[in-house]
Amino acid sequence: EPEVTQTPSHQVTQMGQEVILRCVPISNHLYFYWYRQILGQKVEFLVSFYNNEISEKSEIFDDQFSVERPDGSNFTLKIRSTKLEDSAMYFCASSGTGVGQPQHFGDGTRLSIL
């Protein structure tokens, strides 16, 4: 069964540095998402992406964050000038066309800001 893959599985970064989290969605999916889960808390929506542009973003997704689909397979989340509170698990997800299609998640990237 096709899977969403995320790299790296764990990223440790100094505060103030930039990080790029990478995702390869399922190949025939057209909707892509990033979610965040701070340790012990619920999963929170960050951003959705369709047709090479952001379709919706949460209030968490401020100017510090950006997403890109640099080629036909990768979907990246960039976090500039990282802060301690950016430490979390970041999940990428993708879904097919059609209303109510379930989202398929990757294994997540654990981001630790020191």
Nearer Cβ to another protein (9/81): 9
Residue 94, beta-bridge partner list: 32, 104
Within residues 46-85, the interface with another protein by CB under 8 A covers 48, 50, 55-56
Instruction: Please give the Cα distance from 43 to 104 (Å, whole number).
Output: 14
Nearer Cβ to another protein (66/107): 107
**Is 73 exposed, middle or buried, given 0-12, 13-18 or 19+ CB atoms closer than 10 A?**
exposed
**Rounded to 5 degrees, what are φ and ψ at 77?**
-120, 120
| Site for another protein contains 89 (CB under 8 A) | yes
Site residues (vs another protein, CB under 8 A): 31, 33, 35, 41-45, 48, 50, 55-56, 89, 91, 93, 95, 99-108
